[in-house]
Amino acid sequence: MFQEVNKTNESVSYEKTDYQFQGDMNQGCMSQPQMMCPNICEAPRERVCHRYFCYDVPHIVPCNTRIINHHIYKHTYVPQYTCCEENECSNVYDNCPNNFF
């Protein structure tokens, strides 16, 4: 692996046992095609994906309708008037002898 030697200015120098590389690393890799730049292993990043699943859950609720019929009898007083008529007859005999009739 590479070891960092100088980190005080813009040009950074790295050293490895086979060769010495100085200057900007991107510029060095592009200017010298015979060299292979080593892989840099970055710290792993984690992506979190929230997935939501919706489910229909039917709840059966029995519902009964009760009908109550109320029969109310209202009693009222309704008089029925009747009328009757009688005839009474009387005989009055004035000035008549007793054996007249």
Domain that holds residue 36: 1-56
pLDDT tens for 37-48 read: 888 889 988 999
Per-residue pLDDT at 1 exceeds 70? no
Split into its structural domains, the chain has a count of: 1
Task: Please check whether residue 41 lies inside any domain of the structure.
Answer: yes
Q: What is the pLDDT of residue 37?
A: 86
pLDDT tens for 14-31 read: 444 444 444 555 555 555
Task: Please check whether residue 76 lies inside any domain of the structure.
Answer: no
Q: What is the pLDDT of residue 19?
A: 47
DSSP conformation letters of 1-42: --EEEE-SSSS-EEE-SS-EEES-HHHHHHH-TTS-PPP--P
Task: Please check whether residue 8 lies inside any domain of the structure.
Answer: yes
* pTM more than 0.75: no
